[in-house]
Amino acid sequence: MKIEHITLRRLRIPLRAPYKLALGDVTHFDTILAQTVTDDGQGTGEATILTGYTDETIAESWTRACEMGKRLAGATSQDAKASIADEMRDVPFAATALTTAIEMAEGNANLRIEGPVAVPLLAGVNSTDASGYTTEIEEAIASGYDTLKIKVGFDLECDLARVAAIQRCNAGRTRLRIDANQGYTREDACAFASRIDPTDIELLEQPCHADDWASLEAVSKATNVPLMLDESIYDEADIERAADIGAAFVKLKLMKLMGLDRLAHALALIRTHGMEPVLGNGVAGDVGCWMEACVASRLTGNAGEMNGFLRQATPLANPQLQVKHGALQLEPGRAVTLNAGRLEKVTLETATFDRTGDAAAAPIIRLG
């Protein structure tokens, strides 16, 4: 299969409401979208660059994607994937956008849905006041969600009090995931993990900085709830290290694994090391979330976190991705497609490359 044409877009996708994380409020997605046409198919891939979660920046990733895109036009799909894997390891998010576009065009087996499938998702509890989180919990349960996610990592005592209040409101009706997004020092993380009431708690996610493995191991020894690592995990060595320090869960995101086949392999490796895999990205758009859901339908057995598409002010998928009874609905033989008009409205720059090596790159729309 030979790549005939590649179009790259740099997107700024507004969110319905700020997504509150310990590393700061997210008001929009900075996304690279790759659209690839081969002599036998076409595919789309994406990666959203979140400052503070990854060392990549949207400017760097856009430049690197464009440099690689120009070289890939005219190459075979296998050679193109090999070049990306060899030369873009330091920018895995940008690499994922390119690789998954090629994998979709190839008809990657991980994206094949044989029959209607419902992939369960979790719902977020974002409010800090009792009235707000009570409403969120009741609405989520009424909508069919059985797993809720609570963000912490802001202030130790306030976080503990809020989680306890949510536990009382929840009253055993759902599982609770607690995510600190690297927000705690070692001392506060150990205090939080040892003082939290384990009632209904499925896991505690990434309490300390991604590179601070010593602190994460200390939390693993102090905690009375299962520990999950997320930001720390990029490759097989990180998965093995998570097992060594006593993590019970490992969460993966497609954008960090540089491709669908690599993602599937990593999910299997987590189980090989006696841990449970969790999959999904709350900071991803329609394409990335759909791809993760396809993989999750085969390879995971818990609530997926591929719900970033629900945060967008306007869905880009056409038809819109459907969530019913707390689960993303997948239909056989139907790949995600994007609405061209809506896509144009969130596009900041575009670059197009064809197999002759010619390229044109110019801003389309500048958003204020």
Please write the tens of the pLDDT for every residue from 352-364: 999 865 555 444 3
Query: Residue 229: which of 265, 253, 194, 205 has the closest Cα?
Result: 205
Which tokens sit at 303? Answer: 């609530």
- Give the domain ranges of the chain: 3-107+339-363, 117-330
Q: CATH classification of 3-107+339-363 is 3.30.390.10, yes or no? A: yes
Alpha-carbon span 309 to 318, nearest angstrom? 13
The per-residue pLDDT for 128 is 87
Over residues 91-103, mean pLDDT: 97
- pLDDT tens for 20-70 read 887 789 999 999 999 999 998 999 999 999 988 889 999 999 999 999 999
- pLDDT tens for 4-25 read 999 999 999 999 999 888 778 9
Instruction: Spell out the alpha helix ranges (H) of 107-155.
Output: 130-142
Residue 223 identity = T
Q: What's the whole-model pTM score? A: 0.94
Over residues 95-111, mean pLDDT: 97
Query: Residue 101: which of 36, 147, 150 has the closest Cα?
Result: 36
Which tokens sit at 226? Answer: 């299962």
CB neighbours (10 Å) of residue 344? 12
Q: Which residues contact 222 (CB under 8 A, 6 or more apart)?
A: 190, 193, 194
Alpha-carbon span 97 to 3, nearest angstrom? 15
Q: Which residue has the higher pLDDT, 169 or 115?
A: 169
Q: How many CA atoms lie within 13 A of 65 on its CB side?
A: 39
Q: CATH classification of 117-330 is 3.20.20.120, yes or no? A: yes
- pLDDT tens for 177-190 read 999 999 999 999 99
Match 């690197």 to its residue by tokens.
Answer: 64
Q: Which residues pair with 362 in a beta bridge?
A: 350
The per-residue pLDDT for 132 is 93
- pLDDT tens for 221-247 read 999 999 999 999 999 999 999 999 999
Instruction: Spell out the alpha helix ranges (H) of the chain.
Output: 58-72, 77-87, 92-106, 130-142, 156-170, 186-195, 213-222, 236-245, 254-257, 260-272, 286-299, 340-345
Q: Does pLDDT of 99 surpass 60?
A: yes
- pLDDT tens for 301-332 read 999 999 999 999 999 999 999 999 999 999 99
Q: Which residues pair with 25 in a beta bridge?
A: 20
The per-residue pLDDT for 365 is 33
The per-residue pLDDT for 362 is 42
Tell me the pLDDT band of 283, cut-offs 50, 70 and 90. Answer: very high
Tell me the pLDDT band of 112, cut-offs 50, 70 and 90. Answer: very high
